[in-house]
Amino acid sequence: MTREPLTAAQKADVLAEALPYIRQFFDKTLVIKYGGNAMTDERLKDSFARDVVLLKLVGMNPVVVHGGGPQIERLLERIGKKGEFIQGMRVTDAETMDVVEMVLGGQVNKEIVNLINRHGGKAVGLTGKDAGGFIRARRMRLRQRDDGEALIDIGQVGEVSHIDPSIIQFLDRGDFIPVIAPIGVDEEGQTYNINADLVAGKLAEVLRAEKLILMTNTPGVLDKNGKLLTGLTPREIDELVADGTLSGGMLPKIASALEAARNGVRSVHIIDGRVEHALLVEILTDHGVGTMIRAE
């Protein structure tokens, strides 16, 4: 379907609507977890890059943390290795870790950096191993569902133990846009694959971000009737988890969002990355495209 072009007056209305938001979020940090369809659809990839550049040009400080699950899966298939998941986490032996590092730290990270730079931004790609290992990790062990005392070793999968924000702050001051692959390292130099939602949430806390924005392949948080819940508090989220409304793959994302909202991030947005210019619609207009969780 062809969209009618906006008139000059309509364009002026759009700009006028954005002005108070530009003023409110000027010089504020926005941590954006980039994933899902927005990373694989060419039109949406282009839209995302332009949105990030525009946010930087109007004075905000976007920090991008990206995933790359489908790209990792494709390379594993090419080398004849089948991906294995336990409780939603990728089992990561040494060979799989090499693939994860190659895809996230190389292919995907550099593609995002290049796309942002092509649209006039100044992006810098990083993994948590850079700048003296600014993302410190420890090995994650899962608990058996039928035996809470038994632990499952899923290999080189990590959780964040510490983030040094100084490199991100330095890049922000230089008008650069940090693009971060969720790979961490421990004190012995062991590399870990970390869930991108988890890294984004912890980074938002450490940077005292104004917003944490999680891009997904869903409209946001839905109630039991499939209706979008546009505004929630952490207490209301707890109730939705307790009554079973929230379950499955949304739980890790919600857990990361809740922790951020309870630890200094002013608002968390779970938005539909399948919507073109989703970032701009959520941040600069009166009409969001997802669920906002406010700190209580």
Q: Cα–Cα distance between 212 and 64 in angstroms, integer?
A: 10
Burial class (CB within 10 angstroms; exposed 0-12, middle 13-18, buried 19+) of 4: exposed
CA distance 226 to 229: 9
* Residue carrying structure tokens 């942002």: 116
Q: Which helix (H) or strand (E) holds 241?
A: helix 234-242
Contact between 194 and 134 (Cβ < 8 Å): no
- 74 labelled ligand-binding: no
Residues 38, 44 contacting (CB under 8 angstroms) = yes
d(CA 236, CA 259): 14
Q: Is 136 annotated as a binding residue?
A: no
What span, in angstroms and rounded, lies between the C-alpha atoms of 234 and 265? Answer: 12
**Distance between CA atoms of 91 and 162, rounded to whole angstroms?**
22
Sort strands 290-294 and 267-272 into parallel, antiparallel or unpaired. Answer: antiparallel
Q: Is 133 annotated as a binding residue?
A: no
Dihedrals φ, ψ of 64, to 5°?
Answer: -105, 130
90 is in an annotated binding site: yes
**Is 186 strand, coil or helix?**
coil
CA distance linking residue 38 with residue 196, whole number of Å:
15
* Alpha carbon distance 141, 150 (integer Å): 10
Beta bridge mates, 269 = 213, 292
In the 8-state DSSP scheme, what is residue 291? Answer: E
Residues of the binding site for substrate: 68-69, 90, 193
Residues of the binding site: 68-69, 90, 193
